[in-house]
Amino acid sequence: MAKPTCPEYIAAGKKNDPAHLSMQGVACFETGDFSRALTYYGRALELAPTPMLHGAMGRAFHELGLYSLAAFYYNGYLEDVPTDSDGARRIRERLATLQEQETAASGKISIVSAPSKALVYLVMPNQDWFELGPTPLTISAKEGNYRFVIVEPDHHRQIHDVTIAGSADTIDLSADLIHENSTFDVSARQWRRAGAWTMVSSAPILLGGITLLVLGHQSTSRAKDYNPETTGHSLSQKRDLHDKGDTLQRWGIITTGIGGAGLLTGAILYSIGLSSSKRSEPAPLEEPAASIIPVLSPSQLGVRFTW
């Protein structure tokens, strides 16, 4: 029997087929790719909510050690099935196991923001974003590293990396979101744009400085060849040409220094923008210049484009 494979993408004709999406979610779950399984389960749940999908979401979150999220979906399953059914009995057993694990080996992460009601996303291991809901909120999870994105319209998003080191850990995460109109805040894109413009504007200055150096060198070289006896040039003409060459070279050194400093400054600004992007954005799924970030929540599934 062939081993199941987890597809990275769904064909256009199948992306709105909840049965197909559910099957792909199962395939991903069986390969151990629980994050991508959640992507397909979540899309199927949005199109056609069923108890089975609530249970499947709960199992995937349970495997990832996100206990409070797993409990939420397990309880969603129990709300829609008869209490004496086999499925309800199995889910209750999983809930009991989950509660033991949560008590023995989990920490809590509490998230607040200013302004409040900002949306919190959990960056999954496969870099998909799962919407947790608005602040304030608290989740429980097993030991490990977690990344959260806090988003509020017209504000700069924030990325927070936290580590749960033990079951007694309680991490308080506070996000003071900065409005986009705040002049003292500079985004990664603005750093890159400033760096690019600085390099572009500095390049002609550098070339001009190099040109002055060349012209100055040529003038001083010609001045050395001036000789009243052989070339007919006077000493004053020789001195004037030599002084002109010195002046050109002096300005060439200054201009070249300014242009070179501008290029170096631009390169530094651009590298700051790149490093800021890497710190503040989940790893892109496509080319770095334009990243496509999947977004998954109980009510929606889509993508975010960043440039």
pLDDT for position 187? 64
The answer to whether residue 253 is domain-embedded is yes
Residue 133 lies in a domain: yes
The mean pLDDT value for 64-70 works out to: 92
Q: Is residue 306 part of a domain?
A: no
The whole-number pLDDT of residue 212 equals 87
Average pLDDT taken over every residue of the chain:
83
- Statement to judge: residues 78 and 142 lie in one domain: no
- 48, part of any domain: yes
In a domain, 240, yes or no: yes
Same domain, 238 and 279: yes
Domain boundary at 143, 166, 182, which?
182
Please choose, from the candidates 166, 173, 169, the residue with its C-alpha nearest in 3D space to the C-alpha of residue 148. 173
Q: What tens digit of pLDDT does each residue of 191-209 get? A: 788 888 898 988 999 898 8
Q: Find the DSSP H helices in 65-136.
A: 67-79, 86-104
CA 294 to each of CA 30, 71, 124, 144, 275: distance values in angstroms, whole numbers, following the listed order: 22, 24, 10, 22, 22
Whether residue 277 sits in one domain with residue 253: yes
Q: For position 97, what pLDDT does the model report?
A: 93
Instruction: State the Cα–Cα distance between residues 242 and 101, nearest whole angstrom.
Output: 86
Domain C-terminal end among 104, 127, 154 = 104
Same domain, 207 and 281: yes
Which of 111-125, 142-156, 172-186 has the lowest average pLDDT?
A: 172-186
Average pLDDT over residues 248-269: 89
pLDDT tens per residue, range 14-60: 888 999 999 999 999 999 999 999 989 999 999 999 999 999 999 99
Query: Which own/partner contact pairs does 205-209 have at CB distance under 8 Å and 24+ positions apart?
Result: 205/255, 205/258, 205/259, 205/262, 206/255, 206/256, 206/259, 206/260, 206/262, 206/263, 207/259, 208/255, 208/259, 209/251, 209/252, 209/253, 209/254, 209/255, 209/256, 209/257, 209/258, 209/259
Question: How many domains does one find in the chain?
Answer: 3
Judge if 266 and 207 occupy the same domain: yes
3-state class percentages of the chain: helix first, strand second, coil last, to nearest 5: 50, 20, 30
Tell whether 118 is covered by a domain. yes
Average pLDDT over residues 277-297: 46
For residue 232, the model assigns a pLDDT of 62
204 and 159 share one domain? no
- pLDDT for 11 equals 81
**Domain around 42:** 12-104
Do 111 and 100 sit in the same domain of this protein?
no
* Encoded tokens for 305: 């484009």
Q: Give me the amino acid identity at 306.
A: T
Residue type, 79: E
Indicate whether 112 and 99 sit together in one domain: no
| 239 and 146 inside one domain | no
High-pLDDT (> 70) share of the chain, % = 83
Distances, alpha carbon 188 to alpha carbons 6, 269, 300, in Å: 34, 10, 28
Helix (H, G, I), strand (E, B) or coil at 61: helix
Distances (CA, A) of 211 to 200, 214, 217, 262: 18, 5, 10, 17
Asked whether residue 200 falls in the same domain as residue 139, the answer is no
Mean pLDDT for 117-135 is 90
Residue 33, sorted as left (phi over 0), alpha (psi -120 to 50) or beta, turns out to be: beta
Q: Is residue 302 part of a domain?
A: no
pLDDT attached to residue 151: 94
Give the other-Cβ count within 10 Å of 165's Cβ.
11
- pLDDT, residue 230, reads 64
Burial class (CB in 10 A: 0-12, 13-18, 19+), 170: exposed
CATH number at residue 167: 2.60.40.1120
Q: Is residue 295 part of a domain?
A: no
231, 147: one domain: no
* Domain end call among 134, 161, 182: 182
pLDDT band, residue 302 (cuts 50/70/90): low
Give the SS3 label for residue 55.
Answer: helix
- Do 175 and 192 share a domain, yes or no? no
How confident is the model at residue 277, as a pLDDT? 57
State the pLDDT confidence band at 287, using cuts at 50, 70 and 90. Answer: very low
Q: Which CATH number do you get for residue 26?
A: 1.25.40.10
